[in-house]
Each structure stands twice: as C-alpha cells, then as structure tokens.
Structure 1
Amino acid sequence: MSVIEVGQQVVTMVNVFTVAPENQRRLVELIVEATETVMRDVDGFISANIHSSLDGTRVVNYAQWRSVEHFEAMHRNPLVHPHFTDIRAIASPEMHLYRVDYVEEVAAVR
C-alpha cells in the first residue's frame, strides 16, 4: 500500500515519461508488466501507481521503496534491465526521488 505521510521512512520515485499518444497505452502495459513480473519481488519495493495523462503524452509512475539503498539496489538488478530497455524504446523518462513534506486531506473519495 502506498504511504503518503510526513515522516515515513520511505522514498518516493516519481518518473514522468514523455510518450507519443499512439504509444501511451503500450507504455502503461510495459510498466505494469515490469511491476508485476519483477519489481514486486525486489527487496524494498512497496508500491507502484501508474497514471496516464488525458492528452496521451505522459505516463507517471509514482512508486515507493523502503529506502534509497533499496531503490539503488533495484537499479543494479539485472532482471530489471530488459524492462528499462523496452520502456526507453518508446518513451523518455524523467525520474527523481522525493520525500513527503506535507499532506492535507479533506475527504476520502469513494
């Protein structure tokens, strides 16, 4: 489960991919496949949330890891490299790591 709370000891990766609209659905499929076949079993993985822009030009992966060290270890894992290659063939990623500094909640959406 994603943790969006100030003070939690998790690291959040936000990766914004730029993609041609005709490849957006395929990019989502590739990221979901990578998550379901590899990432979910990598030590330190917490969650992934995939969002696609309504204009078709972006896909955002909001993923959480137990620590920066876990995230860095994932990048050294040879099982993830083929997925990165497939994704980069159709999209340009811009990835950064974040911490949660502030959360305000009004009401739950159901």
Structure 2
Amino acid sequence: MPLISPDDGYLTVFNLFETDTVPLQDDVLDAMRDIIDHADYPGWISSTLHAGVDEPGTVNYIQWRSAADLQARYEGQKFQRKTVPLFHKLARTVRLLKTELAFTQHHPALGGDIEISPERDDYTVLIVFDTKPEDQRELLDTLAKPDEWITTVPGYRSHTYFRGVDGSFVVNYAQWDSKELYDAFHSLPEEDRPADIRDGRHRARSLVTNRQANTYRVTHSRSAKG
C-alpha cells in the first residue's frame, strides 16, 4: 500500500476534481478507477483514489518517480485527447497539483510511516492554501513544524504538508479518526489553543490568498508493485 515517507523522494501529484452532484462524483470515481487499474506508465509508483465526504468531489493521490516521468504522461496523445476532455466534462473544477513532501508528523501510537489505503478507516482532510510565490517559504515555515499539542487532541492521526512545485500553494493532507472528532478540533475556540499555535494560525491566514478544502474517504488504491 502507498506510504507517506520523507525518505522516498517521490513527486506527489494531487488531482482534485470538484463536482456539482454525488452522481457526477461517482462518474469521476468510476473513470479514475478504470485509469488506475490499467496504469502502466514509466515512473508511475502508485495512485490512491479518494471520494468526497462533506462536498462532492474526488482526489487522486499519485506518486511519481520524477517530474520528467509525469511530463511524459501529460504529453501523451491519449491523455491530451481523451482523459483531459473527459474530466473537464464531468467536473466543475479540475486541479492537477505537482508537489514535494515538506513535512510530516503522525501520532506516536501509529508507529512507522503513514499508510494510505481503502482498508483503513481514515477520515481524510485535504486543504490547499494558495499563496504568492514570495510567501510560500514563510507559509511553510509557519505551518510545517513539529506540533506536540496536536498529538493530545482526540482523534488526531497524522498531517503532512506538501510544497507546490510552482511556488503558488501548499497542501495539507491530514488523517483523523472520525468526522465528529475532526469537527470538534476544527471548531475549537482560538482561546483554547496554545498561544504559539494561535500566533501561527494568524500569521498563516495573512499569507494565504485562497483556501480550498474538503474531506474524503479512500476508496481504491493500486501500485506499480502490485
């Protein structure tokens, strides 16, 4: 199963699709599942499909050996003539986000690397923070650092920050026990958070130009290794 590991050096691509309805979400999931099950591209490592929970939409979490391998896939005739038009037809918005892992942390009780699998019951939160290229480094420095407090929050499992390769965004991919526990954390009054956390959140908000968020369940995964 795919792992989030700072040692793998993979290029991570988030393919985000927002849809207007759950049936359209299901259409995207079916189309993506078919692509994943037939994937055989040089440099492709794994693909993990996520279905929207709070809002219709999907995420395909894809690991590639290198940017060159991904570019070869994007330049393929089938991708250009069939795949891209199909998803623009089904989805309201499409974002193909190329990233590098910048920071990861998980609850000590979970042990080794972070797993992503439909066999797990993670309530997954994905947030894209758009920012100006000149502010990306400071945004990462503000958000992507060890946080002992969050390991004491009920329901917390892991969180990982990815740096957008083009410099214009940061992605937060987080796993929680359940929607109820994540919602309790998300709605926690600012005064109930540690002072350094409050300061960091305030500074981060000043560096973000747009925020895109949804929650997901992993529904399907496949890797080049089987």
Pairwise TM-score range, normalised by the shorter structure: 0.7 to 0.9
What code does the residue aligned with 1:88 have? R
| Identity over aligned pairs, percent | 27
Q: Report the secondary structure of 1:9's partner residue.
A: coil
Structure 2 counterparts to residues 64-75 of structure 1, below 5 A: 64-75=175-186
| Match for residue 87 of structure 1 among 204, 215, 226 | 204
Q: Report the secondary structure of 2:220's partner residue.
A: coil
CA RMSD of aligned residues (A): 2.1
**1:58 lines up with 2:176 in the alignment:** no
What code does the residue aligned with 2:150 have? M
| Structure with the higher fraction of residues in strand conformation | 2
CA distance in structure 2 between the partners assigned to 1:3 and 1:70 by the alignment:
20
**1:42 lines up with 2:153 in the alignment:** yes
Structure 2 counterparts to residues 2-17 of structure 1, below 5 A: 2-17=114-129
CA distance in structure 1 between the partners assigned to 2:124 and 2:151 by the alignment:
15
Q: Which ranges of 4 or more aligned residues in structure 1 deviate by more than 4 Å?
A: none
Greater relative contact order structure (CA < 8 Å, 6+ sep): 1
Give the structure-1-normalised TM-score.
0.83
Give the structure-2-normalised TM-score.
0.43
Compute the displacement of 1:37 (Å): 4.3
CA distance in structure 2 between the partners assigned to 1:70 and 1:3 by the alignment:
20
CA distance in structure 1 between the partners assigned to 2:114 and 2:123 by the alignment:
11
* Aligned residue-pair number: 107
What code does the residue aligned with 1:20 have? K
What code does the residue aligned with 1:56 have? G
Q: Which has the larger radius of gyration?
A: 2
Extract unaligned runs of 5+ from structure 2. 1-112
Extract unaligned runs of 5+ from structure 1. none
CA distance in structure 1 between the partners assigned to 2:153 and 2:120 by the alignment:
20
Compute the displacement of 1:42 (Å): 1.3
Compute the displacement of 1:54 (Å): 1.2
CA distance in structure 1 between the partners assigned to 2:177 and 2:203 by the alignment:
26
Write the deviation string for residues 75-109 of structure 1: whole angstroms up to 9, x where unpaired: 132317724332211113211101101111114xx
CA distance in structure 2 between the partners assigned to 1:21 and 1:87 by the alignment:
14
